[in-house]
Each structure stands twice: as structure tokens, then as C-alpha cells.
């Protein structure tokens, strides 16, 4: 956060791109004025009047990304609170205390609450350590255990905060059948990118019915975001990363809030970064459970046969990993993900990477 000397506060607040807000501003009433503004100056009539802190935090939460400036009767001892509430600059009435302002910014090395400076609050720091240790401990216990035991343990331990992400693709039925048997009410997320093959959607519905899954949740891109970013529906052609972000990463991040564990269908034999997969994996935010990590293609096949599971209708046409139609082509069974984003470096869609806060994508089951 930058501290301005008082003499500089002459920077005009009347410039069209700057909005000056009194402490009693009601954001709901001025939403139109805020749109497009580059900087908002929030006035503090007295340093004891803390409304500006909540105003700033609210503006940030509602997505204001411009500059926030605290103006008025403020004291150096408030530097850190201002920064944490979301301010970028402060223009205090009283000048000549730069040293105290700067010292106050670094008076504390950690915080208890999440705030707009996006530092990690104490509870998250602690939970992250605990979660990482838990993944290690679970791996020690379950490294060589059968898939079903891994899955049952995960569903039990993370009851109420575990979900599955499924593409209802070529291999999905094997893992889903196991989940349906243990806990059919487990939330199963399906990312409807609106670019799926019709066969996938039909197959999804048939499989859900056949297995008796009772908690399937269809996730779609936010309407407004889609209209803004992909008006012509051709974003995938121009920028597949942006398209995946719009249609997969962000909807999933929203849906996953409140979930601490995610079941995946990734297997070591898929190759690439998946070759070292363990049954439990902490990605910095969530525990990923990979019960099928050690399965081979033949293991999957055996389950399909044993349970007489229906195959995805496109498998016999040579598709082994099935995603959106613009980005999927047939591939050889030896290298299943070759058929995805053919002709690009891309091999993963981004939902596997941990997101800094709140959202985390998971791979497909």
C-alpha cells in the first residue's frame, strides 16, 4: 500500500475516472456510477469512523478491481487494517509520519482472518498443513489397498464434503459403479460445456439411471460471463485455454466451494504427469482421491465385463478419452490422451491445477 504525503492529495477527485465516496455511501444505490471507474476515494471523516473499512471490503468482494484510496483523518496505526480491507493508497490529513505509516504496515507477520489482501488466514495455513499430513498418512495406510477400500475410506472420512467429478467418458462407468454401490448419494459433478457430443449426454443419463446415482449436479458456465467472453460460441477456436476457463475451471471452482475432497478417475497408465499418481494427493487446497490410480486398461475392461456395464457409444468409433467435440479426436488405446486438443501442446484442461483460493479443478472420473 502506498502512503501519500498530504501535499499530493491535491490529485483531483473530480476527474471523470475517479469517484469520491462519503462514508455513508450505499453501494447498491451507486452500482452504475462505479462501473468503469478507475479509482474510488473513500473519505474518512474521523479515524474512529470505521465505515470506510467495510465499504472497501464490500467493493472488493463485489469485484471492483480499480484503485482504492483512503482519504481523510487517518492515523499510521491503521495502515495495516486499511491495506487488509482492500485499499491500495492512503492520503492522510496529517503529513510527515511516513516512518510510522511504513512501520505499521509490517507490524504483524500473520493474520487470523481472510481479508482483501488475500493473505492466507491462520486457520487456512493450519488446515493446509493438516491436510498435507493427512494425505501422507492415508497413502502410508492405503498405498497397496484395493480401489474399493480406498474409496470407502475416503467417502467415510470426508463424509459431506467429498464429491466426484465425472466426464461420463469412456472409462467412467467403472468407478461410478463402485461409488453407486457404496454411497449413491455422493455428489457427482458433470461439467456441461455445451460442447459435448450428444452421445455423451445420452450416455450420462442412461448410466445415472442404470447405476442409481441420486445426486448428479450439472455445472454450466455463468450466463453473463459466457455472453461477454464467448458471444459467437467460437472461443475454443481462438483460445482454448480461455474457453476451458469459462466452461470448466470457473463453474467447477464455484461448485466445489465447501468440498474438501474430490474423487478422480485418473490412472497411472494414462501417462504424463499421472505416472506417479498415488491414491491420496493434496493439491494445496483439497485432497484428491484417486482410487483407480493403479488400474490398467485391462482392469477397467474387466469391471465393465463383470458388471455388464454399457460402453460409451463412441468407444467403438475409436475414441478412448472423450471430451468436448471440438477438442476430441480418436486416439490409440496405448496413449489415451493423445486424442485431446490434437495439434496443441495442451494435454490437460486446467481443472487439475490447484487454484489459489476457493476453487480447485479436479480431473475426470
With CB under 6 A as the contact rule, the residue among 83, 248, 270, 274 that binds ligand SF4 is 248
- What is the footprint of ligand SF4 within residues 176-215 (CB under 6 A)? 193, 195
Give helix then strand counts, H and E, for the chain.
13, 11
Q: Can 244 be counted among the known catalytic residues?
A: no
Nearer to another protein, 103 or 228 (CB): 103
- Residue with C-alpha cell 482392469? 299
Nearer to another protein, 29 or 345 (CB): 29
Beta strand pairing call for 2-3 and 287-289: unpaired
Nearer to ligand SF4, 19 or 244 (CB): 244
Q: What is the dihedral of CA 258, 84, 121, 99, to 10 degrees?
A: 170
Cα 353–158–264 angle (5° rounding)? 40
Query: Does residue 81 interact with another protein by CB under 8 A?
Result: yes
- What is the footprint of another protein within residues 97-126 (CB under 8 A)? 97, 100, 103-104, 107-116, 121-126
Q: Contacts with another protein: how many residues (CB under 8 A)?
A: 49
CB 295 within 8 A of CB 178: no
CB 172 within 8 A of CB 295: no
With CB under 8 A as the contact rule, the residue among 34, 39, 47, 242 that binds another protein is 47
Rg of the chain over CA atoms, in angstroms? 25
CB 315 within 8 A of CB 288: no
SS3 state at 287: strand
Query: Does residue 54 interact with another protein by CB under 8 A?
Result: yes
- Segment lying near another protein (by CB under 8 A), choices 184-192, 222-230, 256-264, 327-335: 256-264
Q: Which of 244, 324, 327, 349 is catalytic?
A: 349
- Segment lying near another protein (by CB under 8 A), choices 78-86, 143-151, 237-245, 288-296: 78-86
Query: Does residue 321 interact with ligand SF4 by CB under 6 A?
Result: no
Catalytic residue numbers?
349
Amino acid at each position: 500500500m502506498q502512503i501519500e504525503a498530504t501535499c499530493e492529495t491535491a490529485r483531483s477527485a473530480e476527474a471523470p475516472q475517479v469517484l469520491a465516496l462519503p462514508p455513508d455511501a450505499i453501494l447498491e444505490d451507486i452500482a452504475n456510477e462505479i462501473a468503469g471507474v478507475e479509482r474510488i476515494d473513500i473519505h474518512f471523516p474521523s479515524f474512529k469512523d470505521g465505515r470506510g473499512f467495510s465499504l472497501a471490503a464490500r467493493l472488493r468482494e463485489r469485484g471492483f478491481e480499480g484503485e482504492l484510496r483512503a482519504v481523510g483523518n487517518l492515523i499510521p496505526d491503521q495502515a495495516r487494517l486499511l491495506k487488509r480491507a482492500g485499499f491500495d493508497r492512503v492520503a492522510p490529513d496529517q503529513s510527515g509520519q511516513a516512518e510510522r505509516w511504513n512501520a505499521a504496515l509490517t507490524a504483524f507477520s500473520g493474520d487470523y482472518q481472510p481479508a482483501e489482501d488475500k493473505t492466507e488466514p491462520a486457520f487456512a495455513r493450519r488446515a493446509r498443513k493438516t491436510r498435507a499430513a493427512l494425505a501422507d498418512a492415508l497413502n502410508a495406510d492405503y498405498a497397496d489397498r484395493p480401489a474399493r477400500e480406498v474409496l470407502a475410506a475416503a467417502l467415510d472420512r470426508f463424509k459431506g464434503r467429498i464429491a466426484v467429478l465425472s466426464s461420463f467418458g469412456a472409462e467412467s462407468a467403472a468407478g461410478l459403479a463402485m461409488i453407486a454401490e457404496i454411497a449413491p448419494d455422493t455428489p457427482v459433478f458433470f461439467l456441461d460445456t455445451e460442447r459435448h457430443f450428444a452421445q455423451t449426454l445420452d450416455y450420462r443419463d442412461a448410466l445415472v439411471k442404470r447405476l442409481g446415482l441420486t445426486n448428479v449436479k450439472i455445472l454450466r458456465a455463468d450466463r453473463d460471463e459466457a455472453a461477454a467472453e464467448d458471444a459467437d460460441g467460437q472461443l475454443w477456436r481462438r483460445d482454448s485455454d480461455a474457453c476451458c476457463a469459462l466452461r470448466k475451471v470457473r463453474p467447477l471452482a464455484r461448485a466445489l466451494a465447501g468440498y474438501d475432497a474430490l474423487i478422480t478417475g485418473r490412472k497411472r497408465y494414462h501417462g504424463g504427469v499421472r505416472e506417479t499418481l498415488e491414491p491420496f494427493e493434496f493439491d494445496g487446497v483439497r485432497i484428491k482421491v484417486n482410487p483407480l490410480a493403479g488400474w490398467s486398461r485391462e482392469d477397467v475392461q474387466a469391471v465393465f465385463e463383470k458388471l455388464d456395464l454399457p460402453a460409451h457409444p463412441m468407444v467403438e468409433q475409436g475414441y478412448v478419452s472423450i471430451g468436448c467435440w471440438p477438442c476430441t479426436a480418436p486416439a490409440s488405446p496405448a496413449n489415451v490422451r493423445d486424442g485431446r486438443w490434437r495439434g496443441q501442446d495442451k494435454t490437460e484442461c486446467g481443472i487439475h491445477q490447484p487454484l489459489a483460493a476457493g476453487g480447485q479443478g479436479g480431473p475426470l472420473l
